[in-house]
Every structure is written in C-alpha cells, then in structure tokens.
Amino acid sequence: MSVSYRQPGVVLTDRRFTVPLDHANPSGETIELYARECVASDRTGQNLPWLVYLQGGPGFGANRFIGRPAWLGRALKDYRVLLLDQRGTGASTPANRQTLPLRGGAAAQADYLTHFRADAIVQDCEAIRPQVTGGAPWAVLGQSFGGFCTVAYLSLAPEGLSTALITGGLPSLDAHADDVYRAAFPRIERKVVAHYARYPQDVERARRIADHLLTHDVVLPNGYRLTVEAFQSLGILLGGSEGSHRLHFLLEDAFVRTPRGHELSDAFQEQAQGLLSYAGHPLYALVHEAIYGQDARPTDWSAERVRAEFPRFDAAKALAGDEPLLFTGESVHPWMFDCDPALRPLRETAELLAARTDWTPLYDPARLAANEVPAAAAVYHDDMYVDTGHALTTARAIRGLRTWVTDEFEHDGVRAGGPRVLDRLLALARDEA
C-alpha cells in the first residue's frame, strides 16, 4: 500500500515494486524496489509526464531531499518525479555484509551481485514503468553512474524513454577498467596540485598526517584501520564543488597534544571515519570495477594495479623526499576490504568478482548510432570521476545527443548548480537552446 505525505512545496508517495532478480528468468527469485514519487503540492491533480532519477554510485540510494532543493524544484515544474533506489540500495532489498550471507558462501554472493549492474537497473525501470506511467515513456535524469545507466537504457530499451538527460555520466563504450584508471590518475594529480595551490599550508599538514600513519597503528572508533593509503583516498572529496574546502578543514586541526604526545584528534577521526566507511553503500566497493566489465577480461583490481604505474602516488617515497603527498580519488582497492569493518566479511566475494571473466556488454553502439530519443548531456571539463575524452567520444557515438561542456562545475554540478544545470539540459533536449 502506498503512503503519501507532505513536505514544504511537495507531496511525496512511497512506492514499492517487485521485480525478478534475474530478468532472464522472470519466474524465478524476486527482489523489492523502493521509489519515492514527488509532485509539486500545487500540481497534485494534474496529468503530468514522468521523470525517473537515477542516482550516481554505484551503490547509493536516491537523494533524500527535504522540500524542493537543487534540481528537483526545476523538474517539478514539468514532471512528476520518481526517485528510484536502485536494486540493492536505500530501501530496496539491501545487499550488504548483514544480508549477503543469506545467499550462502562467497561464490553464491558473487553470482548474486552480477545482477546489480546497469543492464539490470534498466530492466528494473522497464518492469516498473507500466505501473507508474500506464505504459507511456518517461524522461530519465542520470547523474554519474546514473548516466552510465541512461546510456545503457538508450542501448537496451530506448522505446521506454521520452527524453534522456545525463550529468557527468557518459561512459566509454569499450574501455576496460585499466583504460579508465590510466586516464584517471593524471586527472587526480591535477586536482591535488590545484588543491595545494589554493591551500599551500596543506602540503605540510598532509605530509605530517601521512608520516604519523606510517609509524603508528591507528584504528578509528568504528573499527576502521586508518592506513596511509586510506588517508590518501580522502582525495575523493576533490571531485566535488566544495571538496577542496572540506578537505582543508579536515586537515587543519588533525592533531591534539596528549600525555602520550601528539595524536590524531577525536574530531579528525570522527570525520575521517564518516568519509571512509562503506557501511552505508557497500555495493559501491563490491561492484565499482564491474561496471566497466564488458568482455572476458577480468577487472582484477584494476585501480590497484594501475596505481603502481604512477609512483608519485607512493606515500613512503614522497615522504622520503620533499614531494607533496598525493591524494587518490574515486577508486576501490583490495586493502579497503581489510581496513573497513563493513567490508571485511565480503573480501572473498570481492576477490571472486574481480576475477570473473563472463561480463557481458552493457552498451549497443549500433543502436546508439541510430538513436531517436531527444538527449542532452552535461560534460564537466576535467571531471575527476569521468574522463572528459571518453565522455566526448561517447557523445559523438550517440545520434542526436547534444552536449554542454563546461568548467563551471565539478562532478556534482546537478546538485551544486541548483536548477541551472537541469534547465540547460532540458533546453538542449527540446531544441530551445
């Protein structure tokens, strides 16, 4: 039974759906999807078209908005919006260290998780669309990994779409994970250099924290083992509009004097564990590299292997000389499954996923080349998370896709830019700009 309730300026309705775990076996096991319907409070009785929002990730539930912030207010001028918790996330049937043992051992868990990529998410959307729209096509807004899903939607079921809007999420159609990370590490270094140019005092602060972690065993209050590699991974912040400032404030008061000497402060540790823990989104760690798997080649901990090709990211070498410590970015590494108590029970499962050689293609270049769905994409210049070159190559491969290339925003422009990003994409898709 659906339940409706109000927030400022919006009426929300909880929606739940049952879909097959494996859409190739529709009579087999099922899972539950949760979505939140949103409509402007002054338009509840109107027959509005639908827009489904696909969150970034993988592994994150849809935004829990309060009222009509960011892009949502603009969308509600034209649409009823469905905020979908993609399978395994949010209030949909969860996949985490507590629930995955219900599947059996690590091999069964890994087999189960092969059904949590973009193709299955698109099939979920198509399974629930008739129940939501009565069969009419809907618009889709895909942010980051949600954009990957949108390109898969245009490949697998374009008949279900009236409009496709993508923000920071045009994937390479054929790159292996190794190609993705070889392009990523130089971008990450540029972001770190820019951060230190803005906050030069952070060079010494980061080196001091890294040196402490190389010589001390630090376990955060939640049981997370804070290694120097884990500390470096806080560079993921640098891909967001406020990330450089947030990293600076984290570093500025990292130490406190105690009877045992200087130690990392409780305040620093509390913030760090909140940023580093995967307890709320373990699927991100488990299937992050699998979203790039499209053939018989295993991903094989791609980011960890490729990082070794960039020795400037080696903390010990940087500290042995006078080089600044380089932070890392959006990547998953095997040591995370040792450091994070939310991931430790899933280490073997992750190893099996990294070794798989039966990944199937997620995109159909021929169908994309014949695309007839009005489509527009925001491409953020030097986006830390999605390579601009890969994105523009894909944009050229999708017939009729219009791009807006901008350096005004970082990867989170659809949030940070308020209604402007969505307004621009809608104008492009409608040939109004």
Residue 1, pLDDT score: 64
- The CA distances from residue 151 to 240, 385, 424, in Å, are 23, 17, 19
The band of 418, judged by pLDDT with boundaries at 50, 70 and 90, is confident
Give the chain's domain count: 2
Q: Are residues 241 and 346 in the same domain?
A: yes
Residue 46, pLDDT score: 95
In percent, how much of the chain has pLDDT > 70? Answer: 100
pLDDT in tens, 299-308: 999 999 999 9
Q: How far is it, in rounded angstroms, from Cα 257 to Cα 357?
A: 51
pLDDT in tens, 198-256: 999 999 999 999 999 999 999 999 999 999 999 999 999 999 999 999 999 999 999 99
Q: Which of 429, 430, 410 is nearest to 188 (CA)?
A: 410
Q: Are residues 75 and 207 in the same domain?
A: no
Q: Is 432 exposed, middle or buried (0-12, 13-18, 19+ CB in 10 A)?
A: exposed
Q: What is the pTM of this model?
A: 0.97
Domain that holds residue 13: 3-173+363-429
Residue 4, pLDDT score: 93
Query: Which CATH number is 167's domain given?
Result: 3.40.50.1820
Is pLDDT at 349 greater than 70 in this prediction?
Answer: yes
Last residue of a domain, one of 322, 355, 388: 355
- Hey, what's the torsion of the CAs at 408, 414, 417, 421, to 10 degrees? 80
Q: Which of 153, 124, 134, 135 is nearest to 62 (CA)?
A: 124
Residues acting as catalytic residues: 144, 358, 411
Q: Are residues 168 and 117 in the same domain?
A: yes
> Higher pLDDT residue, 88 or 329?
88
Q: Which amino acid is at 282?
A: P
Q: Are residues 309 and 414 in the same domain?
A: no
Is pLDDT at 433 greater than 90 in this prediction?
Answer: no
Q: Are residues 229 and 334 in the same domain?
A: yes
Half-sphere exposure of 195 (CA within 13 A, CB side): 34
Q: Which of 69, 9, 77, 10 is nearest to 37 (CA)?
A: 10
The band of 30, judged by pLDDT with boundaries at 50, 70 and 90, is very high
In percent, how much of the chain has pLDDT > 90? Answer: 98
Phi and psi of 373, rounded to 5°?
Answer: -80, 125
Last residue of a domain, one of 297, 320, 355: 355
Q: Are residues 330 and 210 in the same domain?
A: yes
Residue 3, pLDDT score: 87
Q: Are residues 261 and 383 in the same domain?
A: no
Q: Are residues 87 and 156 in the same domain?
A: yes
pLDDT in tens, 120-158: 999 999 999 999 999 999 999 999 999 999 999 999 999
Q: Are residues 404 and 264 in the same domain?
A: no
Q: Are residues 338 and 377 in the same domain?
A: no
Residue 112, pLDDT score: 98
Q: Are residues 169 and 187 in the same domain?
A: no
pLDDT in tens, 263-281: 999 999 999 999 999 999 9
3-state secondary structure of 78: coil
CA 233 to chain centre: 15
Q: Are residues 47 and 103 in the same domain?
A: yes
Last residue of a domain, one of 325, 355, 385: 355
